[in-house]
Amino acid sequence: MAEQRKKWQYLVSRMYRKELIDELKSRYVLHWNYRSYEKFPPELLVFGLHVEEIYLKGNKLLVLPDWVNSLRNLTNLFLDGNRLCELPGAIGECRFLDTLDVQDNQIAELPDAFCNLHNLTSLNLRGNRICRLPKGFEKLKALSYLNLANNGVKTLPDCICDLRSLQELILDGNKLRSLPRRIVNLPNLSYMSICRNSLEHLPLTLFVNHASVSFTQNPSLNYLQYDLGCELSRNSFVVASDFDDEEAWRLDISGCAENPPICSDDDCLLVKIQNDQNVLRLPKQLRRVHPFLGNSTPEKVASLFELSLRRMHELMAEIDSSDKSFLDVDCLQYIPPIGQTLRDGAVARCSNVDCSEALFTEAVLWTLEMTVTNIEIPTRTVAAVLFFCSGRCSRLYAEANPRKVALRVQWSLL
C-alpha cells in the first residue's frame, strides 16, 4: 500500500508546482500570505495532510474547498483579508482546529456544522457581513476569544451566555440595542468591547467576573446602573483629570448620551429626569417602577406575579443542577409567562447589599446624577439608577448612604 501511494504521488507530482511540493514535504507550518492565490493550493490535498498551521492572509481566495476536512491535523487557519463569501460545512469536521481567523472577508453566515468545532478557542469574524450566529453556537464550549466587530448583528442570541470559557468578547461596530441579561453570568469573561453600537443601556446587574467593559460611541446610552458604573470605573484604564471628587467615575463615555432613546411601539417605560429633562428608557421586561419619597413613603406591595418570580428564582437557586433540568422541562412549561421570564434572567438586583434580591418586572427606582471625569473630558454628568425590591430596602439604603440621598434626583413616567 505504501509503495502504491509513492507511485501515485510521483505521477501526480508532475501535475503540481514543484516548489510547493518541496515546501509541503518539509513543513508543518505554511506561511503563504500575500501570494495572490485565487484558490486553495491543491497541492495541500495530496502532500499536505500533515500540516498543522496555515497562513493565507491577504490573498484573493473566493472559496474554501470542501476537502478542507481532509486536513485532519489542522489547528490554526488564518484566512483574513480574502474574498470568501461562505465557509463550507466540511470545516466542522476539522476537529483539532483551535484558531480560525476569517476577518475582513464577505461571509454572510456560518454553516450549522460550524458548531461541531468543539476544540475551537479563538474565532475572529471581524469585518464580515454576519447578521446572526448559527443554531447550536453554544456547543463551542472551549471558545475563549470571539471577535464579531464590524458586522451587522442586531440581536445577540441568548446562547452566547452559555459559552462559559469565553474570556474576551468584541462586538464593536454592530447594530445592537441591548445585550442578553445573562451575559453578566459568564464566569470567565474579563473584557468586553461594545463600542459603536446603538445600546440604550448596559446590564443592570454586576458581572460575576468583574469584567472590564468599553462602551464608547453609543449615542442613545444615557444612564448606567450605579454599582456597575462604580465597578467599571475601578476597572477602567482611563486616566482621570485633576478633579477633587473621589466619588466621581473615571470612565470614557465619549459619544454616549448624544441622542434621545430610540422611539418604538414596544411599550417600554420611559422615565424623565425632572431637573434636566433627560429621558431614560428602561428594559422592556420592567413593567412597573415606584418612586421613593423618603420615610413617609407608603410601603408598595409587589404584585403577585413579581412575588412568584422572586420565589421561584430562590427555589431554582436552591436546587442542584440535576434537578433544574426537571424543573425547566416539566414545570415551567405549564406556566409560560413565569417560565420565559425566569429563563431570560433578572432585570436587576436590590441595591441593598443585605438583600440583593432578584428583580424581574417591578422595583423601587432611584435616579442619581453622577460626575464622570477623564483626561479629555474634565467633568460631565451622567444619570445612574438603583433598584430596590421594596420601600423598606430603599429606606435602609438611604440611612446607610446619606451622600447618595443628596445626589438623588426626582423623576416621573412619560
Task: Tell me the CATH number at 80.
Answer: 3.80.10.10
The whole-angstrom separation of Cα 397 and Cα 15 is 79
Provide the pLDDT confidence category of residue 268 given band limits of 50, 70 and 90: confident
Identify the pLDDT of residue 209.
95
The whole-angstrom separation of Cα 163 and Cα 186 is 7
Residue 316 inside a domain? The answer is no
Tell me the average pLDDT across 154-173.
Answer: 96
Residue 189 inside a domain? The answer is yes
Identify the pLDDT of residue 137.
96
pLDDT greater than 70 at residue 263: no
Provide the pLDDT confidence category of residue 119 given band limits of 50, 70 and 90: very high
Identify the pLDDT of residue 9.
57
Identify the pLDDT of residue 22.
82
Residue 371 inside a domain? The answer is no
Tell me the average pLDDT across 19-42.
Answer: 90
Residue 142 inside a domain? The answer is yes
Q: What is the pLDDT of residues 292-324, one digit of tens each?
A: 876 665 666 788 889 988 988 888 777 755 454
User: Number of structural domains, the chain?
Assistant: 1
Residue 118 inside a domain? The answer is yes
Task: Provide the mean pLDDT of the chain.
Answer: 87
Which ranges in 223-354 belong to alpha helices (H)?
226-235, 304-318, 321-326, 336-344
pLDDT greater than 90 at residue 212: yes
pLDDT above 70 covers a percentage of the chain that reads: 86
Contact 268, 281 (CB under 8 A): yes
Identify the pLDDT of residue 298.
61
Tell me the average pLDDT across 205-209.
Answer: 95
Identify the pLDDT of residue 296.
61
Residue 177 inside a domain? The answer is yes
Residues of the domain holding 163: 16-198
Most confident range, picked from 11-20, 303-312, 330-339, 354-363: 354-363
Residue 391 inside a domain? The answer is no
pLDDT greater than 90 at residue 363: yes
Identify the pLDDT of residue 329.
45
Identify the pLDDT of residue 360.
94
Contact 363, 286 (CB under 8 A): yes
Entry pTM: 0.88
- All cell numbers assigned to 178: 441591548
- All cell numbers assigned to 195: 463600542
Q: What is the pLDDT of residues 318-344, one digit of tens each?
A: 775 545 454 454 455 545 577 778 878
Exposure string over 232-270, b if 16+ CB within 10 A, otherwise e: bbebbebebeeeeeeebbbbbbeebbeeebeeeeeebbe
Residue 333 inside a domain? The answer is no
